[in-house]
């Protein structure tokens, strides 16, 4: 069946709104069998109905499609990177900036999926939510649950049309993981262990992160992230360069990760890494 996957209802001036759909079934579905509607958030009455019978598009199992009025203005260069995932509909309704109800219905007017969105569903850790998508985190949880939607992450550009949702939850990882590889590296540009990779794998969306590197004297030498909204699967790298653009000396360094969520939960993780020199 068709499910709502991501929406951008309050885009930046140079970007376009969009609604992204997902085929959760094991069948090939045709977009032309669908209607998409906008309903009034107070009464639930449909205000705008757009039948998609003139827009045949085969959606294979596990795939998705981006519906918009202005495909070339989609964020993240979606038009140029994933043109085959876009259906442009000139008479698609405009999404209200504050609140609305999006309804998917079949050709018998039976509701397939429905999402009552509100601007307050965005994380309050963000100062400004203009241009920020709401992403569905789990297809096994109800569309109607506000806890099943979250603001797209900073590293994803706050919007992910045509891509895997940055806040998608994996059921295979019940605990947070912070992995640093390798633990010793040599930033000499020889193509071998020239940088470290810090992998943050989180079991839920909504974490904000600050990441920095310190030397053994407790001096901060490099900022890797400063109060950014994380996705559920993030990567950061350090090439041994300090904030003043100098190559750090050989020795031991501490990578300090602090994450917090909207409930006020704070977690601090420390990882030790060594810079070596090859001779």
Residue 183: burial class (beta carbons within 10 Å; 0-12, 13-18, 19+): exposed
The Cβ of residue 153 has, within 10 Å, a number of other Cβ atoms equal to: 27
Mean residue pLDDT across the chain: 93
Return all residues near 152 (Cβ < 8 A) that are at least 6 apart. Answer: 6, 132, 133, 134, 135, 158, 159, 160, 165, 166, 167, 231
Rounded distance, CA 76 to CA 252, Å? 38
Kindly tell me if the per-residue pLDDT of 199 is higher than 60: yes
Q: Comparing 105-114, 145-154, 169-178, 219-228, which segment has the lowest mean pLDDT?
A: 169-178
Q: Which of 41, 229, 209 is nearest to 128 (CA)?
A: 229
For range 23-31, the mean pLDDT: 94
Rounded distance, CA 235 to CA 10, Å? 28
SS3 174: coil
Q: What was the pLDDT predicted at 248?
A: 94
Q: What was the pLDDT predicted at 176?
A: 73
Q: What was the pLDDT predicted at 171?
A: 66
For range 18-26, the mean pLDDT: 95
Q: Rounded to 5 degrees, what are φ and ψ at 147?
A: -70, -10
For range 248-257, the mean pLDDT: 96
Selected residue with higher pLDDT from 189 and 32:
32
Kindly tell me if the per-residue pLDDT of 279 is higher than 60: no
Kindly tell me if the per-residue pLDDT of 107 is higher than 90: no
Kindly give the pairing relationship between strand 177-181 and strand 196-201. antiparallel
User: Domains of the chain (ranges plus CATH)?
Assistant: 2-151 (2.60.40.1260), 177-275 (2.60.40.3880)
pLDDT, tens digit, 9 for 90 and up, residues 81-93:
999 999 999 999 9
Q: Which of 272, 167, 149, 153 is nearest to 209 (CA)?
A: 153
pLDDT, tens digit, 9 for 90 and up, residues 144-198:
999 999 999 999 999 999 999 999 987 665 567 899 999 999 998 888 999 999 9
For range 242-269, the mean pLDDT: 93
Kindly tell me if the per-residue pLDDT of 212 is higher than 70: yes
Two structure tokens written together for 10:
């309050």
For range 12-29, the mean pLDDT: 95
pLDDT, tens digit, 9 for 90 and up, residues 39-68:
999 999 999 999 999 999 999 999 999 999
Return all residues near 61 (Cβ < 8 A) that are at least 6 apart. Answer: 23, 24, 25, 26, 27, 28
């Amino acid at each position: 069946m068709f499910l709502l996957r991501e929406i951008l209802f309050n885009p930046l001036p140079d970007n376009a709104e969009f609604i992204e759909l997902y085929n959760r079934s094991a069948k090939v579905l045709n977009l032309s069998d669908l209607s998409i509607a906008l309903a009034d958030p107070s009464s639930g009455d449909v205000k705008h109905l757009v039948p998609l019978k003139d827009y045949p598009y085969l959606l294979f199992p596990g795939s998705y499609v981006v519906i918009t009025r202005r495909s070339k203005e989609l964020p993240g260069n979606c038009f140029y990177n994933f043109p085959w995932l876009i259906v442009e509909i000139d008479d698609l309704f405009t999404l209200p900036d504050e609140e609305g109800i999006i309804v998917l219905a079949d050709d018998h007017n039976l509701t397939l999926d429905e999402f009552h969105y509100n601007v307050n569903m965005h994380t309050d850790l963000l100062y400004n939510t203009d241009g920020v998508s709401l992403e569905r985190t789990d297809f096994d949880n109800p569309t109607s649950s506000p806890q099943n939607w979250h603001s797209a992450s900073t590293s994803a550009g706050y919007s992910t049309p045509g891509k895997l949702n940055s806040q998608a939850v994996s059921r295979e990882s019940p605990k947070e993981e912070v992995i640093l590889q390798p633990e010793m590296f040599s930033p000499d540009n020889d193509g071998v262990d020239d940088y470290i990779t810090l992998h943050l794998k989180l079991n839920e969306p909504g974490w904000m992160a600050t990441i920095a590197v310190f030397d053994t004297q407790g001096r901060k030498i490099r900022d890797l992230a400063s109060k950014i909204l994380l996705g559920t699967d993030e990567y950061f790298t350090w090439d041994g360069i300090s904030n003043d653009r100098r190559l750090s000396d050989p020795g031991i360094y501490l990578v300090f990760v602090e994450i917090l969520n909207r409930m006020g939960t704070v977690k601090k993780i420390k990882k030790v890494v060594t810079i070596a020199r090859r001779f």
